[in-house]
Amino acid sequence: MGLLEDNQRLREERDLLRRRLAELEEEFSRSNQEVFEMNEALVQANARLAELDRMKDTFLSMITHELRTPMTAMMGLAENLEAGVYGPLSEAQTENLKKIIENGVRLRQLVNDLLDLSKMESGMMRLQCEPLDPRTLVEAVIYQLESLAESAQVKLVNRVGYSLPEVFCDGQRVEQVLTNLISNALKFTPPGGTITITASAQDDFITFTVADTGCGIQPEAQSHIFDKFIQLHPNKDDRTKGTGLGLTIVKHLVELHGGTVSVESEIGKGSQFHFSLPIYQE
């Protein structure tokens, strides 16, 4: 009698285990289905985001191209007026025309920046690389910005050595990088300050540094300083206003060359922007 009872109990436990196993299998199957459905939803959402991003790039490219033609015509007419091609202007007309041209230059820069950024983000920008002398690159940019620095009463100093190896880069785009960094430094360096450009070789790269004696950047801002449309000091006067794309373009262009970009800054003491370019290998 005891053996029968034991067998009955074992059968009941076996049946209970089988039912529990079936429940677990059903629950596992439901979980797998939910995970599959979630993955499918994520794939579709990612595809939609990619499509929206592509549409955004296409839209920006189209709009900026469409803006460039009338902007060029408008600026040409304004500059002709300022030059007196259509006759003399009154003092009030001259003052207002000056404001039109200043804002036109700002808008034209925004259009150019958007076009460049659109090309870089869509992978359409192609570099024309060649071996170039680091000091000569810096000299060319300083020459272009000397008058701007003089009006800001800021000294530009080129301390890039003569004996550094050549860098393999697109000269026009590297000059754009240097122009953006030095122009940005000029905005935030008070009269009497100095902007110094140096360079040093390490491993297979030349690292350039643009150092200013300006107001510095808040620590919390440094982590996203290269993001799009970031204004470092939005409450400053017109001298510091920009498109908010300059440093983003710097980052993209440097990385296109295979280099890196970084910033160090201390409030009240100034900032240092570093970027690297590959050394030319024969």
**Measured between alpha carbons, how far is 206 from 261 in angstroms, rounded to an integer?**
12
- Report the candidate in 75, 141, 59 with the shortest Cα–Cα distance to residue 108: 75
Taking each helix axis from N to C terminus, what angle separates 246-256 and 91-121, rounded to the nearest 10 degrees? 40
Statement: residue 252 has pLDDT above 80 = yes
Note the pLDDT tens digit of each residue in 91-149.
888 888 888 888 888 888 888 888 888 788 777 788 999 999 999 999 999 999 999 99
pLDDT exceeds 60 at position 79: yes
Question: How far is residue 141's CA from residue 180's CA, in Å, rounded to a whole number?
Answer: 10
Give how far Cα 68 sits from Cα of 72, 112, 113, Å: 6, 8, 12
Average pLDDT over the chain reads 86
Q: What percent of the chain has pLDDT over 90?
A: 44
Task: State what percent of residues in the chain have pLDDT above 70.
Answer: 90
Residue labelled with tokens 């240092």? 272
Q: 220: number of CA atoms within 13 Å, CB side?
A: 1
In whole angstroms, what is the distance from residue 245 CA to residue 230 CA? 7
130: left (phi over 0), alpha (psi -120 to 50) or beta: beta
For residue 223, give Cα distances in angstroms to 122, 182, 219. Answer: 24, 20, 8
The model's pLDDT over 168-217, given as tens digits with 9 standing for 90+, comes to 999 999 999 999 999 999 999 999 999 999 999 999 999 999 999 999 99
DSSP state of 162: S
Q: CB–CB of 263/272 below 8 Å?
A: yes
Residue with tokens 């490219």: 61
Q: What counts of helices (H) and strands (E) characterise the chain? A: 6, 7
- Does the predicted model carry a pTM greater than 0.75? no
